[in-house]
Amino acid sequence: MILVDSSVWIDYFNGTPSWQADALDGLLDRDVIAVGDLILAEVLQGFREDHDCDTARGLLCDLHQVQLGGTDLALAAAANFRLLRAKGVTVRKTVDTFIATACIKNGWTLLHNDRDFEPFEKWLGLRCINMPSKDY
């Protein structure tokens, strides 16, 4: 299962070119794409027009829904945050700590466009979809 971060959904819905948005477009028809509750809130709160928000909500709610909260995950996320801070890394957003920790605990792969996930990948084993290599 692939969890897609709000950083990718925002590029996707805004038509902002990125390899992550292109990857998402290709994955939608052939893989199980998950949407986390916190990611759903982050994405939908950014729409200015009701029509656009309704369209996005329809697409996102048709995908596999996962919970990114709860006491157990909060405790694990806090431990991961503290571990990274001890290594000199401060993650800027608590939501990103929850997302990364949920992926690590559940064996999900993350598709993102946010540097805050890099320390989780480097030190905590977060699996991410990385930029495909160019064949020349």
Domain assignment present for residue 119? The answer is yes
Which tens digit of pLDDT belongs to each residue from 57-106? Answer: 999 999 999 999 999 999 999 999 999 999 999 999 999 999 999 999 99
Residue ranges making up the domain that contains 49: 2-128
pLDDT at 128 over 70: yes
Contact 98, 77 (CB under 8 A): yes
Provide the number of structural domains found in the chain: 1
- pTM for this prediction: 0.94
Q: Where are the beta strands (DSSP E) in the chain?
A: 2-4, 33-36, 64-66, 109-111, 127-128
For residue 60, give both structure tokens: 């996102």
Phi/psi for 127 (5° steps) reads -90, 125
Domain assignment present for residue 134? The answer is no
Domain assignment present for residue 13? The answer is yes
Residue 114's domain is classified under what CATH number?
Answer: 3.40.50.1010
Domain assignment present for residue 68? The answer is yes
Residues 6+ apart with CB under 8 A from 1: 31, 32, 33, 34, 64, 106, 108, 109
Q: First vs last Cα of the chain: how many Å apart?
A: 30
Which tens digit of pLDDT belongs to each residue from 18-67? Answer: 999 999 999 998 999 999 999 999 999 999 999 999 999 999 999 999 99
Domain assignment present for residue 67? The answer is yes
53: enclosing H helix or E strand: helix 50-61
CA distance 23 to 75: 32
Domain assignment present for residue 133? The answer is no
Residue 104, classed as helix, strand or coil, is helix
